[in-house]
């Protein structure tokens, strides 16, 4: 792979990994708080899986940059400032109620399933192999979040109202899925990664239909002005502070 592509791909992968890490952290906030024990365990599992996926992408980015696969991911996670994270705003929003977290997970999982399918066809073999491995787990995530959406959307008056409120709040942020990731144009032209806008079109059609069938109203709002990954909501710094506080107490510690 050309050097310019190596560098571009490392930036692309760090953005993908940041999405997984931050969503995983939000999922982990349900530990001990989910409405039933089984879902408590399910969300803890989701959190571990997402953070595990982040680790795989950070490690591949480290490889591409000639950095150490063990220490570099920790450096990125624990010692960057909030403004240096490249996750999309959708994943950093506070966990909200359980309808909000479940619906966010669905919207994100449905997009991931498409992106990973495309990435598993990448011309860059190490990327394709990891994408195929992650995809297997993501299909299970999607099955889980997909099972809940219609049950809540068509459930009781309260569950429906909470799902509709969650959708109204999340939908503008979900439009951020259409935005290109760092380095995407060049990498897409080289057959290494898919076009986010292309995936978004498929996602939008499939997801809108599924949500309508789940009794929810999808508003066709215009995208947020601020959907690029360089800007964050006020919620990210607090999350990063929580995430990094122990590691920063003793940066030299061996865990």
Partner 1 sequence: MVFQQEGPDQPVVHNGTVHAPDAELAMLNARDVFVRRPEAVALWVVPADAIFTQTQEELAKAEPASQAASGLSDYYVFAKFSQQAQCRQVGQVQAGSPQAAVQAAIVTFADKQPLWWWVFPASAVLKNESSEAEPMFSAARYKTYKDQAEYPVVTMMRALRDKGRLD
Residues of this chain that interact with partner 1 (CB under 8 A) are: 36-39, 41-42, 45, 49, 52, 133, 136-137, 139-140, 143-144, 147, 151, 249-250, 253-255
**How many C-beta neighbours within 10 Å does residue 107 have?**
23
Taking the complex as a whole, the smallest distance from the CB of residue 136 to partner 1 amounts, in Å, to: 5
CA 55 to each of CA 95, 97, 170: distance values in angstroms, whole numbers, following the listed order: 22, 27, 26
Q: CA 20, CA 28: separation in Å to the nearest integer?
A: 12
CB-CB contact of 132 with 120 (8 Å): yes
* Token output for 203: 């996602």
Vertex 62 angle, CA 57 and 63, to 5°: 100
* DSSP three-state, residue 197: helix
Taking the complex as a whole, the smallest distance from the CB of residue 134 to partner 1 amounts, in Å, to: 11
* Token output for 56: 């795989």
Taking the complex as a whole, the smallest distance from the CB of residue 29 to partner 1 amounts, in Å, to: 17
Closest to partner 1 by CB, 146 or 233: 146
Closest to partner 1 by CB, 52 or 198: 52
Closest to partner 1 by CB, 18 or 39: 39
Helix axes 98-119, 37-65, angle to 10 degrees: 40
Closest to partner 1 by CB, 5 or 144: 144
Taking the complex as a whole, the smallest distance from the CB of residue 85 to partner 1 amounts, in Å, to: 25
Taking the complex as a whole, the smallest distance from the CB of residue 175 to partner 1 amounts, in Å, to: 28
Closest to partner 1 by CB, 151 or 202: 151
């Amino acid at each position: 792979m050309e050097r310019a592509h190596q560098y571009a791909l490392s930036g692309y992968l760090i953005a993908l990994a940041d999405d997984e890490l931050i969503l995983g952290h939000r999922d982990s906030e349900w530990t001990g708080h989910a409405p039933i024990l089984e879902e408590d365990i399910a969300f803890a599992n989701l959190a571990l899986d997402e953070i595990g996926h982040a680790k795989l992408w950070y490690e591949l980015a480290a490889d591409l940059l000639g950095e150490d696969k063990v220490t570099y991911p920790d450096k990125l996670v624990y010692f960057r400032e909030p403004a240096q994270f490249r996750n999309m705003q959708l994943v950093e929003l506070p966990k909200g109620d359980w309808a909000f977290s479940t619906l966010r997970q669905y919207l994100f999982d449905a997009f991931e399933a498409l992106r990973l399918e495309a990435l598993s066809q990448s011309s860059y073999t190490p990327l394709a192999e990891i994408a195929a491995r992650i995809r297997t787990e993501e299909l299970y995530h999607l099955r889980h979040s997909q099972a809940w959406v219609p049950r809540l959307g068509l459930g009781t008056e309260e569950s429906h109202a909470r799902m509709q409120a969650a959708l109204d709040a999340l939908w503008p942020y979900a439009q951020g899925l259409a935005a290109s990731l760092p380095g995407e144009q060049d990498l897409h032209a080289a057959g290494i990664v898919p076009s986010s806008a292309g995936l978004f079109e498929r996602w939008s059609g499939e997801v809108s239909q599924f949500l309508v069938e789940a009794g929810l109203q999808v508003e066709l709002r215009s995208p947020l002005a601020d959907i690029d990954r360089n800007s964050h909501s006020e919620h990210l710094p607090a999350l990063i502070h929580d995430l990094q506080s122990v590691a920063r107490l003793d940066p030299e510690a061996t865990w």
